[in-house]
A and B are shown apart, each in its own frame.
Chain A
Amino acid sequence: MSVTQNMQVPREKEPWLEPGHTYASVTDKIASAVLTRPLGIGWLAGFALTFSIVMMLFGACAWLFTKGVGIWGINIPVGWGFAIVNFVWWIGIGHAGTLISAILFLLNQQWRTSINRFAEAMTLFAVACAGLFPLLHTGRPWMAYYMMPYPSTMGIWPQFRSPLIWDVFAVSTYGTVSLIFWFVGLLPDLATLRDRAKTKWQQVIFGMLSMGWRGSARHWRRYQVAYLLLAGLATPLVLSVHTVVSFDFAVGIVPGWHTTIFPPYFVAGAIYSGFAMVLTLAIPMRAAYGMEDFITRRHLEQMAKVMLATGLIVAYGYFIEFFLAFYSQNKFDFFMTEQRLHGPYRWFYYALILCNILTPQLLWIKKVRRNIAALFVISLVINTGMWLERFVIVVISLTRDFMPSAWGRYSATVWDYATFIGTLGLFTMLMFLFVRGLPAIAISEMRELVHQESHGSEGHQ
Chain B
Amino acid sequence: MLKRNADMAQIFHRSANFIARASLLGGALLAGAALTAVLVLARSPYITNERVTRTQPVQFSHKHHVGDDGIDCRYCHTSVESSAYAGIPPTRTCMNCHSVLFNNVGYLEIIRESYRADESIQWTKVHRLADYVYFNHGIHINKGIGCSSCHGSVNQMPLILQASPLNMNWCLDCHRNPQANLRPKDQIFNMDWKAPANQEEVGRQLAAEYKLRTTVELTSCSTCHR
Q: DSSP majority for the B interface?
A: helix
Kindly list chain A residues whose C-beta atoms are within 8 Å of the C-beta of B139.
none
Q: Flag whether A207 is at the interface (Cβ < 8 A).
A: yes
Encode B158-180 as 1/0 by CB contact (under 8 A) with A.
Answer: 00000001011100100000000
* Partner pick for B20 among A151, A153, A156, A211, CB 8 A cutoff: A211
Given A208-B20, A211-B20, A212-B17, A153-B43 contact (CB < 8 Å): yes
Kindly list chain B residues whose C-beta atoms are within 8 Å of the C-beta of A151.
39
Given A153-B42, A155-B169, A194-B20 contact (CB < 8 Å): no
Q: Flag whether B11 is at the interface (Cβ < 8 A).
A: yes
Structural contact, A153 and B167, CB atoms closer than 8 A: yes
Size range of the chain A interface in the assembly? 10 to 19
Q: Closest residue of chain B to A194, judged by CB?
A: B11
Kindly list chain A residues whose C-beta atoms are within 8 Å of the C-beta of B43.
153
Q: Closest residue of chain A to B165, judged by CB?
A: A153
Structural contact, A204 and B11, CB atoms closer than 8 A: yes
Kindly list chain B residues whose C-beta atoms are within 8 Å of the C-beta of A156.
168
Q: Flag whether A154 is at the interface (Cβ < 8 A).
A: yes
Structural contact, B167 and A154, CB atoms closer than 8 A: yes
Q: Closest residue of chain B to A203, judged by CB?
A: B11
Interface centre among B11, B42, B43, B167 (most CB of A within 10 A): B11
Bound-state CA distance A151–B39 (Å) is 8
Q: Flag whether A150 is at the interface (Cβ < 8 A).
A: yes
Structural contact, B169 and A153, CB atoms closer than 8 A: yes
Structural contact, B39 and A207, CB atoms closer than 8 A: no
Structural contact, A154 and B169, CB atoms closer than 8 A: yes
Q: Flag whether B12 is at the interface (Cβ < 8 A).
A: yes
Q: Closest residue of chain B to A204, judged by CB?
A: B11
Bound-state CA distance A207–B12 (Å) is 8
Interface centre among A154, A155, A194 (most CB of B within 10 A): A155
Q: Nearest chain A CB to B93's CB is how many angstroms away?
A: 36
List B101-158 residues whose CB lies under 8 Å from chain A.
Answer: none
Structural contact, A207 and B169, CB atoms closer than 8 A: no
Encode A184-227 as 1/0 by CB contact (under 8 A) with B.
Answer: 00000000001100000001100110011000000000000000
Kindly list chain A residues whose C-beta atoms are within 8 Å of the C-beta of B20.
208, 211-212
Structural contact, A155 and B168, CB atoms closer than 8 A: yes
Bound-state CA distance A155–B176 (Å) is 12
Size range of the chain B interface in the assembly? 10 to 19
Q: Nearest chain B CB to A208's CB is how many angstroms away?
A: 7
Q: Nearest chain A CB to B44's CB is how many angstroms away?
A: 10
Structural contact, A154 and B17, CB atoms closer than 8 A: no
Interface centre among A153, A154, A156, A211 (most CB of B within 10 A): A153
Bound-state CA distance A211–B39 (Å) is 34
Given A208-B20, A211-B20, A212-B17, A154-B11 contact (CB < 8 Å): no
Kindly list chain A residues whose C-beta atoms are within 8 Å of the C-beta of B172.
155
Bound-state CA distance A207–B43 (Å) is 44
List B1-60 residues whose CB lies under 8 Å from chain A.
Answer: 9, 11-12, 17, 20, 39, 42-43, 48
Encode B172-210 as 1/0 by CB contact (under 8 A) with A.
Answer: 100000000000000000000000000000000000000
Q: Nearest chain A CB to B145's CB is how many angstroms away?
A: 19
Kindly list chain A residues whose C-beta atoms are within 8 Å of the C-beta of B9.
195
Kindly list chain B residues whose C-beta atoms are within 8 Å of the C-beta of A208.
20
Kindly list chain B residues whose C-beta atoms are within 8 Å of the C-beta of A212.
12, 17, 20
Q: Nearest chain B CB to A207's CB is how many angstroms away?
A: 5
Q: Nearest chain B CB to A227's CB is how many angstroms away?
A: 20
Q: Nearest chain A CB to B214's CB is how many angstroms away?
A: 18
Q: Closest residue of chain A to B9, judged by CB?
A: A195
Kindly list chain A residues whose C-beta atoms are within 8 Å of the C-beta of B169.
153-155
Bound-state CA distance A155–B20 (Å) is 39
Structural contact, A154 and B12, CB atoms closer than 8 A: no
Q: Nearest chain A CB to B10's CB is how many angstroms away?
A: 10
Q: Closest residue of chain B to A151, judged by CB?
A: B39
Bound-state CA distance A203–B9 (Å) is 10
Bound-state CA distance A203–B17 (Å) is 16
Kindly list chain B residues whose C-beta atoms are within 8 Å of the C-beta of A154.
167-169
Q: Nearest chain A CB to B216's CB is how many angstroms away?
A: 15
Kindly list chain A residues whose C-beta atoms are within 8 Å of the C-beta of B168.
153-156
Kindly list chain B residues whose C-beta atoms are within 8 Å of the C-beta of A204.
11-12
What are 17 A-B pairs with beta-carbon distances under 8 A?
A151-B39, A153-B42, A153-B165, A153-B167, A154-B167, A154-B168, A154-B169, A155-B168, A156-B168, A194-B11, A195-B9, A204-B11, A204-B12, A207-B11, A211-B20, A212-B12, A212-B20
Closest 4 CB pairs of A and B: A154-B168, A153-B167, A155-B169, A207-B11
Chain A residues in the interface with B (C-beta under 8 A)? 150-156, 194-195, 203-204, 207-208, 211-212
Chain B residues in the interface with A (C-beta under 8 A)? 9, 11-12, 17, 20, 39, 42-43, 48, 165, 167-169, 172
Excluding A151-B39, A153-B167, A203-B11, 9 further A-B contacts by CB distance (< 8 Å) are A150-B39, A153-B42, A153-B43, A153-B48, A153-B165, A153-B169, A155-B168, A204-B12, A207-B12
